[in-house]
Structure 1
């Protein structure tokens, strides 16, 4: 893509960090039509290619509406002038709608209701769109919108292994998808979704050879890690979201019943099955944890061989935290810069992850800080 302004690497990295922290206004509302609203993962975001890198940027919600960034109406190629406070800072591109979205299953379900394209080349799905914690304020994660897309009729609750295999094969053939993320609402207090993920991974691998990351809470029995690997899962995500017990109890009262210590034990067991760097965790900066607490946890995780994917918290429409402020760009730089160095020193690189959010990197600028640390 021909950028309007050629920015040095550091300025480009800062631009991406600012866009993810502040969001983006769209002059042409139809340009945001394909942005995800509700559901799991980067909801209320849109994929945007900035300086050759595809990232997920918030385009819905109060934060995005007040952003100093605006994307002017795109041309026929999907290229738009990006302005900050009225001054052009570059050109961005909106990826075209995936071709597999035009298809439907033999039983009439649109492929886009079964799996979505994230970033540039990642297929993502929530195999079970309901969660035992979601329906009650006393147990639900306050940042989660897993039920909103189901309520709006944009997805189906249970995606069968056959459906997932059919859609994955089409996404690879038609749109060049290179890896897949499978997450799930928590269905029970025992395997916590591991069995569903085993069935789903097996269905995909029976249809197409596509690297898969599965994501769930730590199961009650570490034997599930080997079962997941044997079913075709290549990497595993178990997401802390917040790292201190007080913040976890306040923000995700149900999920906090699985303690940080439980997660650390599960991480150690999972790394023994999948290998260093093939187990990861999401950490949301801005929920209340201090930067020091986040970085201390990252050091512990890296020592275990777990990739800590630190992303800025983005308030989602329809959640109790819809009005909660997102961390600013300066704070994210202060977190990601030392974390990038820690990852390189610990021998963990996003490029080495076989599949998943850390490999995609679209929801955080972390990979660019990791790359810069390697050059020092």
Structure 2
């Protein structure tokens, strides 16, 4: 094989997260669908773990190809057939080999994200998902259920059992618990509350919860009191134009409602312990995103901006992937805002921003 052609790490990371990796063969592939970094694989570069799209359609057109070395954790990355770097694939978690007394595989209850983050979608269903008029077009929350890879509902006792094993066997350092939105006024907060309570009774693990803004903001204090250390409430898109087009049902929850919830949550959890996911590439302009992240950072909300990844099997599977140049222009601007307002992913106790594997933003703080 020819000598590796050096590409700056930040540029390469952004390129890979936008373009994805065309994976040669089936060796080393597993996850497909679900919430969070769907169609991705965890890979490490110089000790930094990142989630890279490998299973979606866009990755099949990527200029980057991955050649895993059988019997090794090494993955050679080539750009236009020229080797550019060697990545490391984290080992299969040991807790994946376990089952509950009922015979349910632990990996159907929670999965490893990045290298040390346990993640689960406690309710793999949303009130909007079966109606094209309301569903978020990027969402694949039901795919892993249909594929038999997860449970539609994870019970608190199951989550506690898996979390304890993941900490003891694999050194997991934090947990992210998200949920589909149920038809209740708490928007899933009660399910999260019960889950956190059970987990914290078994293992001392920093937990971020994620849901839509509940009708009653008292849920923020309840979640903190039971053991959650941070919360994520995700905007996904920032302009009303894109919200109405891409996520018409969720757009019924106004930006004003979100900001009221953000302020209430920051008052409970503290600055930097509240975050929101923003998918760059859905149609929002750079200016629209930067103006929104400035507002968020000012009130103490960490704007976790990631390149949108079109997921196979969703209405947006053929949506153009974001241009790496677009992301490389965004990140430094948001990084300056984070510094200006004293926000840093390392000071976040748990959650997507602390993990940082789905974005290059952490490098620009």
TM range, smaller chain: over 0.9
Quote the residue 1:13 is aligned against. 10
Question: 1:236 — aligned with what?
Answer: 231
State the shift of 1:108 in Å.
1.0
Give the Cα–Cα distance (whole angstroms) in 1 for the partners of residues 70 and 341 of structure 2: 44
- Deviation of the 1:87 alpha carbon: 1.1
> How far 1:31 moved relative to its partner?
2.1
Aligned to 1:260: 255
Report the Cα offset of residue 76 of structure 1.
2.4
Is 1:359 aligned with 2:348?
Answer: no
Listed as ranges, the gaps of 5+ residues in structure 1 are 371-376
The answer to whether structure 1 residue 196 and structure 2 residue 191 are counterparts is: yes
Q: Which residue of 1 aligns with 2:160?
A: 165
Partner of 2:45: 50
CA distance in 1, matches of 2:144, 2:252: 26
Cα shift at 1:355: 0.3
Aligned-pair CA distance for 1:15: 0.4
| Higher deviation after alignment, 21-30 or 271-280 | 21-30
Deviation at 1:6, TM superposition (A): 9.4
Answer yes or no: is 1:209 the counterpart of 2:201. Answer: no
**2:66 aligned to which of 48, 60, 71:** 71
Change (3 A) 1:64 1:130: same
- Checking the alignment, whether the CA contact within 8 Å between 1:283 and 1:308 is kept in structure 2 is yes
Matched with 2:20 is 23
Q: Please, which runs of 5 or more residues in structure 2 have no aligned partner?
A: none
Give the match's secondary structure for 2:28.
helix
Tell me how far apart the structure 2 counterparts of residues 287 and 362 of structure 1 sit (CA, whole Å).
20
- Deviation per CA, 1:210-266, whole angstroms, max 9, x where unpaired? 000000000000101001101111100000000111211111111111011100010
- TM-score of the superposition, structure 2-length normalised? 0.97
* Counterpart among 295, 305, 314 of residue 319 in structure 1: 314
SS at match of 2:68: coil
**CA distance in structure 2 between the aligned counterparts of 1:245 and 1:73, rounded to whole angstroms:** 43
Instruction: State the shift of 1:73 in Å.
Output: 2.8
CA drift of 1:342 comes to: 1.2
How does 1:1-376 map onto structure 2 within 5 Å? Answer: 11-32=8-29, 34=30, 36-370=31-365
- Distance in 1 (alpha carbons) for counterparts of 2:345 and 2:182: 30
- What's the TM-score, normalizing by structure 1? 0.95
Question: Conserved in 2, the CA contact under 8 Å of 1:192 and 1:217?
Answer: yes
Q: For the Cα contact (< 8 Å) 1:31–1:74, is it kept in 2?
A: no
- Decide whether the 8 Å contact of 1:20 with 1:312 is kept in 2: yes
SS of residue in 2 equivalent to 1:125 = strand
Provide the C-alpha distance between the structure 1 equivalents of 2:314 and 2:277, rounded to a whole number of angstroms. 19
CA distance in 1, matches of 2:210, 2:184: 15
Deviates more, 1:243-252 or 1:121-130: 243-252
Quickly say closer, same or farther: Cα 1:6–1:179, change in 2 above 3 A: farther
Describe the superposition over 1:188-215 as per-residue Cα deviations: whole angstroms up to 9, x where unpaired: 2410000000000001101100000000
Deviation for aligned residue 1:28: 3.1
Distance in 2 between residues matched to 1:356 and 1:5, nearest whole Å: 35
Change beyond 3 A, Cα 1:362–1:30: same
Paired positions, count: 363
Residue 77 of structure 1 and its aligned partner are, at CA, apart by: 2.6
Aligned partners of 2:72, 2:363: CA distance in 1, in Å?
Answer: 26
Distance, in Å, in 1 between the alignment partners of 2:5 and 2:196 is 42
| Aligned-residue offset at 1:7 | 5.5
- 1:72-123 CA distance string (max 9 Å, x none): 1324231022111111111111111100000011111100000000001000
Q: CA deviation at 1:5?
A: 5.4
CA RMSD, Structure 1 to Structure 2 (Å): 1.2
